[in-house]
Each structure stands twice: as C-alpha cells, then as structure tokens.
Amino acid sequence: MNWRVSALDKYTLVSHSGAHSPPMLGREASVFDTDLDYFAVKRALETGDGFAGTVEFFPEEGKYHLDGHRKCQVRFEPGDTRAHSGPCPCCGKPLTVGVLHRIDALADRPEGIRPPGAAGFRNLIPLPEIVGEILGVGP
C-alpha cells in the first residue's frame, strides 16, 4: 500500500511485529541478506543493497484496515465511507477510519504500482490463524 505514496520512494520500507502482543511476534519481519552487524544492516537500509524485503501478514486481515465500527460489525471501504459521510449507520457513533482510507488520502498513484528498485515482500499466515480457520474457532 505504501508504494502508492511516491514521497516514500526514497526510503527503505521495513516491517516489524509489535512486542505488545507476544503471540504475534514474528508475524512481520524485515529480511536481510548481509552480515548481521549494525554497520551492515545500516548500509542495507541506506542503500538497499542487502535488504531482501519484508515478510508480512496480509494487510486486509488487519483489525484497522477498513473503516467501520467493530461493535456494530459495520465495515466500509474508503469510498463507501466517503459516500456515507456520517456516523455509524447502526448506532450513530463515529466510524473508525482505517489504514486503507489514510493511504487513499495520501496516494498519488493507483494500486498495483511498484517503484523501481523497491524490495519485494512475502505474505504469511500464522499457524494459529490457519488451525483456527480449519476448526471454525478463533486463533
């Protein structure tokens, strides 16, 4: 999604899991093909040489990807939120604006663009998510 914002082209985009949720550690990571020392990692981030990309959970599965109101189970794409232009249609409280909405507001490119030289990414699904889906329960 960040590739839609051309002002970010000069940066190496990394991804990391937050330590606030121990079961989710390792769900997101940056991949380096370099020596594992400070200066090698710093050089890879500055030049892109030795930075092999990121491993990420699917952004669409994130809690705050779309707009909506969790309590009322309302989920809107950004265009739907703009068309609705108001509070939650169920309870009248404000909608939470998601990450995709913010990217749409900042984007100066269409979806699907990959800037030249940008490192790639791989998506993964954590094992508890897979097992939970198979068994019809939460992770």
pLDDT digits (tens, 9 = 90+) for 44-61: 999 999 999 999 988 888
Strands (E), the chain: 29-32, 51-57, 67-69, 74-76, 121-124
Q: Identify the segments of the chain with pLDDT beneath 70.
A: none
Res 26: pLDDT: 77
Q: Quick one: which of 17, 28, 8 has its CA closest to 118?
A: 8
β-strand 29-32 against 51-57: which pairing, if any?
antiparallel
Q: Quick one: which of 15, 1, 3, 30 has its CA closest to 117?
A: 3
| DSSP bridge pairs for 53 | 31
β-strand 74-76 against 29-32: which pairing, if any?
unpaired
Res 86: pLDDT: 77
Res 25: pLDDT: 78
pTM, full prediction: 0.78
Tens of pLDDT along 24-34? 777 889 999 99
Give the Cα separation of 42 and 28 in Å (integer).
19
The residue extents of the domains of the chain are: 2-131
Q: Retrieve residue 77's tokens.
A: 């794409």
In three-state secondary structure terms, 4 is helix
Residue type at 85? S
